[in-house]
Structures are given as structure tokens and as C-alpha cells.
Amino acid sequence: MNFLKRATLTLKRQLFKTMLLFAMVFLLGALMSSAISIRYAIINTDHALRRQLPAVATIHVDERRIQVEQELSDEWIFLENVTPTLIREIGRLPYVQAFDYTAWGHRFFSETLMRAFDADLFLLAEHPQENATDRGSLTVREGVSFEQFTLKGIQNPNVVDIESGLVDLVSGRVFTEDEIENGAHVVIVSQSFLNANHLVLGEHMLLEYRIYDEFSGHENPLDHLIDTKIFELEIIGIFDHALPEGEQLSSGTIHQHIQMVNRLYVPNRLVESVIPFYFDTFLETHPEILEHLMGEGELEDMLRYENIVFLLNDPLDLESFRAYVNSRLPEFWTTSDLSNAYADMSSSMAMMQEIANALAISAFVATIITLGLLILLYIKDRKLEIGVYLALGEKKKKIVGQVMIELLVVAVLALSFSLIVGHLVATQVSVHMIQTDLVRQASEERVIIGEADTPEALGFRHEITHEEMLELYDTSLNLMTVIVFYGTTFAIIAISVIPPIYYLAKLQPKNVLIKGSIG
């Protein structure tokens, strides 16, 4: 009788032992299946959540880290600027579709232009306000007869805010390469700003760059004007910024919207062009402060550029992009994206990942030890049978093959059942645990520390509810899960049978039949 038939008969005759082996492999396989299913569910869900994100990342100062460092050292921290050279280097990465950075123009005033402001919006807020005021207005804060405007410098002619959908270009055009390079006196404004000032596309608007004496200790520097420079800007484009739909508005969201519709987009070089004028003015009035204002190198390397935004090709590249860029940034700088939108789900999945890892390690160790001992006992219990086969001249490799076939038949059946059962158990348990953890997190009060130049601070939004996150929790039994499960479990079985097979290979028929023992 060949060893294949013997293996088949042994499985039938020793049904109890076969079922015991089946039960052990099934139980340990179910644990491994649960761990692997949870792991790949988390990977798939993380990818699904990332695909929902706008592919936007920003570079900014890590204010939280600075605060911690200052508290520990009690010393002032010097910040190295991120230079345009580094920004352009990052912008050449294959992940990046477009990028932009901003030189802000803060000293631009007008006695005729008004800020766009709609007080009725605050009646729609979560806590309606009947007498809301424009917090960004200089006339409101200081009671003066002129208004201050902030220019947002642009380096990318196409304007990343428009390309990313933060604002929509509704009329006119974006900048040209020449306008960006030469600092042309052109501007893109919002429709709300035009309506407030009765302007139209193609018209010119006047802004006055003013330098006030803020270094002489005057109680109100606005009463001490030193010099001015007039800028005539042609309106070449009109944008619109929409308030979020389908959700209750907060006063903070409305104020942010008002800041957006009062944003004036101009080339960076237009903003930079006032720096020599600023220096020349103070060279005459306060020469002693120039050593603090001026430094060595190019003008663009002396400025701290903000709103450094990168639009990526694929939101799944955000993690790789962040890892690379953080390794290149100066100290105390970091990157941010909109993944905080699903931070609660990430926290819950991290908890499940820890459980799955512990379960996988436990199942791995337990399977090797348990199966190794069980198979060894299985062989020792059949020592006389094996001794007879050896005495009759059967080759050891065929006896080993018989034992392996018996094990593999049981293992394949047990593992196939355990894969399905473990996956179903993992799905039910993990969904329930994540749902419970999301409810717990929703009930906790949190202190949210806002940081400048994060995507949220710049107006980019991604709203997703806990229910929507949970719907994206992908527990499907995919091909990769099956491959990894069978590959892992058969590798474990292969390790487990090494000691028993070694003992089997060392058997001598004389010792087995006479002494009735192995070894």
C-alpha cells in the first residue's frame, strides 16, 4: 500500500485525533484570520478616507512645538525661514501638481474703498447675532475715515486657491507668467468686493501704501504718517467664495468667509516692490533700525513667506509627501493636510490595530508551540506503526510525506473554515468597538488649538461625520487578505512541523520496536 492510501486510511481510522487536530488548527487559524482581517480593513479604510480628502498640503511653523520648547528652555527660539528656493525644490516633486506661496501686503489703505461685509449672514449662524460687526475692518476697530486692505501675493499664475477649488473664478482671467515675473499692477478680487465698491471687471482701483511712525512710541501711530506710495491696480479677474452648504454655520466660519471675499490677489513681486521703499524711508527717519530689518542675501530670502500651499496629484500621496518634506524643512517647521477631519476614526482604528497586532503575535506564538507539541505527540503515539514501516524497508521520506499529507489535508480544511469564521467575527467585533469608541470621543470635550497656515486656517475644508467614516470601514474579504492569511498560516505550520519531522527523521526501527520509544 502506498503512503497516499495509508494517509487516507489513517485520517478515517483515527477520527478523534483528526478532529482534535482540526479543532486546534481551526481555533488558532480563526484568531489569525481575525487579526489579518482587521489589519487589512484598517489599511483599506485609511485609503478610502484619504481618497475623500482634497489633495492639499501646507508648510508652516509648528507653533505647538515652539511653545513646548520655550516652556522647557525658557529661551527665545530663532526661526529659520523657508526660502523660495526650497519651496520650488519641493514643488518639483512628482507628487506635486501645483504650488504657491505668499508675500503679504499689510500696509495698503484707501479712503474711498470699502470692505465687503454682509451683517445678515450672522442671522443664519448657530447663535444668531443681530448687531454683528466686521472684526477685520480698520474703520470699525479704530474709528478712522480710511480702510486697510491686505494683499495676498501669488507666485503661481494659475492661483492654487482657484485650482484647488477654495475659490471659483467666475469672470475674467488669472495672471500671466510675465505679470508674475514683473510684479504687474493687476489684481483679482471677489464679486462681493466689487459689489460693495460699485466696480466692474477691467476698471482700475487705487490703493495707498502708507508708512507710519511705529518706532517712536506714539500712542497712536496712525496719527503720524511718514510717507506714501500710490498703486493703481487693474481688475483682471473676479472670484467667488461660497459658504458651506448643508450644515449649521458658526460665527467663526462666517468671519473667515468675510476675510476671503476681501482678499486681493496680486503678484508676489508687487508686494516685494514696497520693501526698498520701506527701507529707504526708515533710512532717513530711523537709520538705527535698519540693522534689524536688513540682512545678507537675496530679498526673497529675507522675507518669511506664508500660505505655502501644495496641490498634489493624488490624496494617497499625502503621507509620502509629508514624510519627505518634513525631512527637508528647517527646525520648527512642519507640514499639514486635512487628515484631521477623520482624526477620530484614525484614533479608533489605531486602537483596533494595537489589538490586532497583539492578537496576531499571540496567535503566531501559540500556533507554533501548540501545533509543534500536538504533532510531536501525534507522531509519538504512532511510534510502533512508524517502526513497522521502517522495519519493512519503507523510506523515511515517504513516511514524512504521509505525515505531511495527513497534516495538510486537515490544515487546509480547518484553515478554510477558520478564514471565513475569523473574518466574520473580526467584522462584527471591530465595527462594534470602533462605533463605541467614536461615540466616546464625540462625548468628550476637547480644546482645539488652531495654528496659522494649516489648510483649515487657509479656508480649505473637508467635513465628514462619524457615520460617514464608519460607512467607509471596509471589511470586505479581498484577495490580498486571503493570500496573506494562507501564506502566514502555512508558514507557521511549516515552522511547527520542523521539530517533529526532525525527530521522525532520526528514528531507527530497532530502537522503536525494541524500546518502544522515540529517540
Question: Who's near 117: CB < 8 A, 6+ residues apart?
Answer: 134, 137, 196, 258
**pLDDT higher than threshold 80 for residue 288:** no
Residue 198, C-alpha cell as written in the block: 460699485
Q: Contact 436/38 with Cβ under 8 angstroms?
A: no
Instruction: Identify which has the larger pLDDT, 182 or 131.
Output: 182
Higher pLDDT, 437 or 152: 152
Class of residue 361 by CB neighbours under 10 A (exposed 0-12, middle 13-18, buried 19+): exposed
At residue 52 the predicted structure's pLDDT band, cuts being 50, 70 and 90, is confident
Does residue 447 surpass a pLDDT of 50? no
User: How sure is the predictor about 394, in pLDDT bands with cuts at 50, 70 and 90?
Assistant: low
Provide the grid cell at 293: 530689518
pLDDT of the residue at 84: 85
Q: For 117-122, what is the mean pLDDT?
A: 86
Report the greatest alpha carbon distance in the chain: 114
Determine the Cα–Cα distance for residues 380 and 243; give it in Å rounded to an integer.
76
Which of helix, strand or coil describes residue 68?
helix
Q: Is 183 exposed, middle or buried (0-12, 13-18, 19+ CB in 10 A)?
A: middle
* pLDDT given for residue 199 in this prediction: 94
295, pLDDT greater than 90: no
Is the pLDDT at 442 greater than 80, yes or no? no
Query: Measured between alpha carbons, how far apart are the two ends of the chain, in Å?
Result: 27
Residue with cell 484631521: 340
Q: What is the arithmetic mean of pLDDT over 225-254?
A: 86
Residue 66 pLDDT level (bands cut at 50, 70, 90): confident
| Residue 351 confidence (pLDDT) | 79
- Residue 263 pLDDT > 70: yes
List the grid coordinates of 464. Answer: 465628514
Average pLDDT of the residues in 95-120: 90
Instruction: Evaluate if residue 222 carries a pLDDT over 90.
Output: no
Give residue 31's pLDDT.
84
Min mean pLDDT across 162-166, 309-313, 420-424, 467-471 is at 467-471
- Residue 297's pLDDT band (boundaries 50, 70, 90)? very low
Q: Which long-range contacts (CB under 8 A, 24 or more apart) does 298-302 make?
A: 299/272, 299/275, 300/83, 300/84, 300/272, 301/81, 301/83, 301/84, 301/85, 302/81
Can you tell me the distance from the alpha carbon of 378 to that of 286, in angstroms, rounded to the nearest whole number? 94
Mean of the per-residue pLDDT values of the chain: 80
Comparing 139 with 391, the larger pLDDT belongs to: 139
Closest CA to 26 of 422, 488, 409, 372: 422
Sign of CA dihedral 335, 338, 340, 344: negative
Residue 233 bridge partners (DSSP): 205
- Is beta strand 104-110 parallel, antiparallel or unpaired with respect to 147-154? antiparallel
Q: What is the pLDDT of residue 253?
A: 84
* pLDDT > 70? residue 518: no
List C-alpha distances in Å: 445 to 64, 72, 156, 347, 448.
20, 27, 41, 16, 10
Asked if the model's pLDDT at residue 279 lies above 80, the reply is: no
Q: Where are the beta strands (DSSP E) in 53-146?
A: 56-61, 96-102, 104-110
Q: Which residue has the higher pLDDT, 79 or 95?
A: 95
Burial of 443 (0-12, 13-18, 19+ CB in 10 A): exposed
d(CA 116, CA 197): 8
| Residue 385 main-chain phi, psi, to 5 deg | -60, -45
User: Does residue 39 sit in helix, strand or coil?
Assistant: helix
Do 237 and 168 contact (CB within 8 A), yes or no?
no
More confident residue, 25 or 299: 25
Taking Cα atoms as reference points, which of 400, 374, 401 lies closest to residue 506? 400
Q: Which of 115-119, 346-350, 416-420, 421-425 has the lowest mean pLDDT?
A: 346-350
pLDDT at residue number 388: 67
Closest CA to 368 of 97, 24, 72: 24
What is the β-pairing status of strands 306-312 and 204-212? unpaired
- Of 1-10, 23-32, 329-338, 483-492, the poorest mean pLDDT is in 1-10
Alpha carbon 131 to its chain's center: 39
Catalogue the long-range contacts made by 498-506 (C-beta closer than 8 Å, 24 or more residues apart): 498/372, 499/372, 499/376, 500/372, 500/375, 500/376, 500/378, 500/379, 500/403, 501/400, 501/403, 501/404, 503/376, 503/379, 504/379, 504/386, 504/396, 504/399, 504/400, 504/403, 505/396, 505/400
Region 262-277: mean pLDDT is 91
Residue 432 — very low, low, confident or very high, per pLDDT cuts 50/70/90? confident
Q: Is 187 exposed, middle or buried (0-12, 13-18, 19+ CB in 10 A)?
A: buried
Maximum average pLDDT range among 51-55, 291-295, 467-471: 51-55
pLDDT > 70 fraction of the chain, expressed in percent and rounded: 81
Calculate mean pLDDT across residues 266-292: 76
Gap between the Cα atoms of 515 and 519, Å rounded: 10
pLDDT at 115: 94
